[in-house]
Amino acid sequence: MKNSITMNRINGRLIIFYFFLFFSSLHLTAQDRSNDFEIIKNLDIFTEIYKQLDIHYVDPISPGQLMKTGVDSMLGTLDPFTNFIPEADIEDVTLMTTGQYGGIGAIIQKQGDFVTISEPYEGFPADKSGLIAGDKILEVDGQSAKGKNTEEVSKILKGEPGTTIRLLISREETAKPFEVLVKRENVKIDNIPYYGMLENGVGYIKLSGFTQDAGREVKKAFTELKEKNDLKGFILDLRGNGGGLLNEAVDIVNIFVDKGELVVSTKGKDIAKNKSYSTHTKPLDTEIPIVVLVDRASASASEIVSGAIQDLDRGVIIGQRTYGKGLVQNVLPLSYKSKLKITVAKYYIPSGRCIQAIDYSHRDEEGHAYKVPDSLISEFTTKSGRKVYDGGGIDPDVTIEPQKFNSITQALFTEFIIFDYANKFRREHDKIDDPEKFEITDDIYNDFIKFVDSRNFDYTTESEIAVNTLKKITEKEHYLNSVTPELEALEKKLMHNKSEDIITHRDEISEILKIEIATRYYYQKGKIKASLSNDPEIKKAIVLIGNQQEYNNILSSTTKKSSMN
């Protein structure tokens, strides 16, 4: 204990010493700043607080953890994208920029007390070691994984390529747990998990990230589609794509617009961050009809691409309003191999609008940042004069409301019933048709219903929530006794309908079930291919590309955009 306290005090005094050095040098280099005194004063108070904690606090303190807590709290008052990255988490920076990390190559999820394999990446260590969806991780290198969350387990699974990790696995219908040795590799997450041809000569690329080489990969995929097919149109799917590297977004826009077109500009406090990024090479195609699919999770670089395509009138945007992240981050090196990811600028797309949705510089009394109010939203125009607006994401040219699933479908998914049945199906069937052709037959669906019954599955409908709310209101207002018979009759009726929901909502349940089962056999590509045939936004895009007059009308219209429910 004495040694621990001594080391803490040594570390604490070193930290205090470095802080004094910092604000002393700050005083010498920034004496002309009006807030110089405030900076020095508060740093002095901070070091005094730490010194008093180090000397007087009843229990030993951890200098590193205490400082990280302070730093995280400080950065938390800014925006959610400005973060301190300690040396231990430096792998996350590599993943953000390159799409690569050292690990086993699998998506994991928490299910009960343990983390399970949700989906192994095809051809990577987890897959090559025989791990499958549904495998429960009981131990990692002899240490229990019970109660750990996905983030904790993920950190343990990641590591230096070439090193080996020992997992104790529990698998459904396997008598007892078994060990699996997995050799970590350099795992590369594909920017493009799938591309191919759809009906009516329409090409399709699913872009899931903007890490290094995303532009080159899109260019290569588009070239192949164009050279091998009589391409009538093209769909770029950015749904769920949270963004990445700005220069990759510029390179992707460059595939479809002329050289020398402004794509995005950045403006920050430091004038060195004020830059303009234009297309710099000859495009591949400036004529083919383009549809870009977006949703509420399309952010950052996805918004640069979709926003530039819209502002330059190069294609039609379909889907839902995007996330609204118009902030640019740089990763700056700090001492001891740590880094700071810091927001340095805002970005502006060709029309001049910034699509940042949240104003983090202004907060209410509870500390919540304000959404840009309608009164401050400004109107801009595209290259051909169409009206577009700032203040929160890219508003699609054609809005399609996201599909809302029934309560039973949501529960079957969130409670892992569909996930577990797909695992059972894979154990019982060696193969299925190609994802585009595979369908949930009557026999499969009836087997699924039996599986659901065996799990004692139950869920709460919106109607039941409403009845329970009504009960509480009537009880509060002293009407409950007089309406109890009617409420009980309504509950009984709802319960009867509930038992039939799995039949009533077969179509939407079957669609999710089909996608989940296809993933077991064909991995990420199978998941995407299985989802395309009944995707309402894909269907709308194909129809629009086939109707040149409607497509051109959207790109030339200065009136209100169209919508589709």
Q: What confidence tens digit (pLDDT) does each residue in 159-192 have? A: 999 999 999 999 998 999 999 999 999 999 999 9
In contact, 222 and 290? CB cutoff 8 Å = no
What was the pLDDT predicted at 376? 79
Q: Report whether pLDDT(100) > 80.
A: yes
- The pLDDT assigned to 371 comes to 81
Query: Which of the listed ranges 318-322, 330-334, 405-409 does the model predict with the highest average pLDDT?
Result: 318-322
Better-scored residue on pLDDT, 449 or 86: 449
For residue 561, the model assigns a pLDDT of 54
- The reported pLDDT for the residue numbered 559 is 55
Angle, CA 234 vertex, CA 258 and CA 315 arms, to 5°: 50
Six token digits for residue 479? 């009407």
Q: Considering only residues 94 and 315, tell me which one the structure prediction assigns the higher pLDDT.
A: 315
| Confidence category of residue 2, pLDDT binned at 50, 70, 90 | very low
Delimit the domains of the chain by residue range: 2-75, 100-188, 194-396, 407-542
What angle separates helix 246-254 from helix 214-228, to the nearest 10 degrees?
Answer: 20
User: What does the pLDDT read at residue 558?
Assistant: 64
Rounded Cα gap, residues 50 and 69, in angstroms:
13
- Nearest CA among 558, 409, 379, 403 for reference residue 498: 409
| Least confident segment among 81-95, 214-228, 401-415 | 81-95
What's the N-to-C CA distance of the chain in angstroms? 67
Strands 178-183 and 164-170: antiparallel
- In the chain, what's the furthest Cα-to-Cα distance? 81
DSSP, collapsed to helix, strand or coil, labels residue 316 as strand
**Half-sphere exposure for 292 (CA within 13 Å, toward CB):** 31
Close Cβ partners of 436 (under 8 Å, ≥ 6 residues apart): 529, 530, 532, 533
Is residue 310 within 8 A of residue 290, CB to CB? The reply is no
Q: What is the pLDDT of residue 557?
A: 78
Residues with Cβ within 8 Å of 196's Cβ and at least 6 positions away in sequence, in order, are: 203, 204, 225, 529
Does the pLDDT at position 562 exceed 70?
no
Contacts of 532 (CB under 8 A, 6+ apart): 198, 204, 436, 538
Instruction: Determine the Cα–Cα distance for residues 131 and 138; give it in Å rounded to an integer.
Output: 13
Question: Is residue 117 within 8 Å of residue 135, measured between CB atoms?
Answer: yes
Question: Which pLDDT score, from 0 to 100, does residue 34 have?
Answer: 60
pLDDT of residue 262: 98
Q: What is the mean pLDDT of the chain?
A: 89
Select the CATH number that applies to the domain covering 194-396 from these four: 3.20.190.10, 3.30.565.10, 3.40.50.720, 3.90.226.10: 3.90.226.10
pLDDT of residue 274: 92
Residue 504 reports pLDDT greater than 80: yes
Query: Which one-letter amino acid corresponds to residue 265?
Result: S
Distance (Å, whole) CA 92 – CA 46: 30
Distance, in Å, from the CA atom of 534 to the CA atom of 271, rounded to the nearest integer, reads 49
What distance in Å separates the CA atoms of residue 251 and residue 253, rounded to the nearest whole number? 6
- From the number of C-beta atoms within 10 Å of its C-beta (0-12, 13-18, 19+), residue 355 rates as buried
CATH architecture label of 100-188: Roll (2.30)
Cα angle 419-195-409, degrees, rounded to a multiple of 5? 25
Cα gap 107→189, rounded to integer Å: 11
**495 pLDDT band (50/70/90 cuts)?**
low
- The C-alpha atoms of residue 140 and residue 101 are separated, in whole angstroms, by 19
Question: What's the rounded Cα separation, in Å, for the pair 140 and 115?
Answer: 11
pLDDT at 1 over 80: no
Residue with structure tokens 């509060």?
Answer: 476
- 23 confidence band (pLDDT: 50, 70, 90): very low
Q: What pLDDT is attached to residue 362?
A: 80
List the beta bridge partners of residue 181: 166
- Lowest average pLDDT, out of 132-146, 154-168, 359-373, 394-408, goes to 359-373
Greater pLDDT, 402 or 8: 402
Whole-number Cα distances in Å, 302 to 108, 187, 216, 295, 561: 25, 23, 16, 10, 20
Sign of torsion over alpha carbons 14, 89, 157, 184:
negative
Cα separation, 158 vs 240, whole angstroms: 24
**461 vs 270, more confident:** 270
Please give the C-alpha separations between residue 295 and each of 229, 298, 320, 359, 474, in angstroms, as whole numbers: 28, 5, 5, 21, 40
Q: Between 47 and 161, name the one with better pLDDT.
A: 161
Q: 460 in helix, strand or coil?
A: coil
Instruction: Specify the pLDDT at position 28.
Output: 45
Other Cβ atoms less than 10 A from the Cβ of 322: the count is: 28
pTM: 0.86
**pLDDT beyond 60 at 31:** no
Residues 346 and 266 sit within 8 Å (Cβ to Cβ): yes
Band of residue 497 on the pLDDT scale cut at 50, 70, 90: low
The residue written with tokens 């299925």 in the block is 432
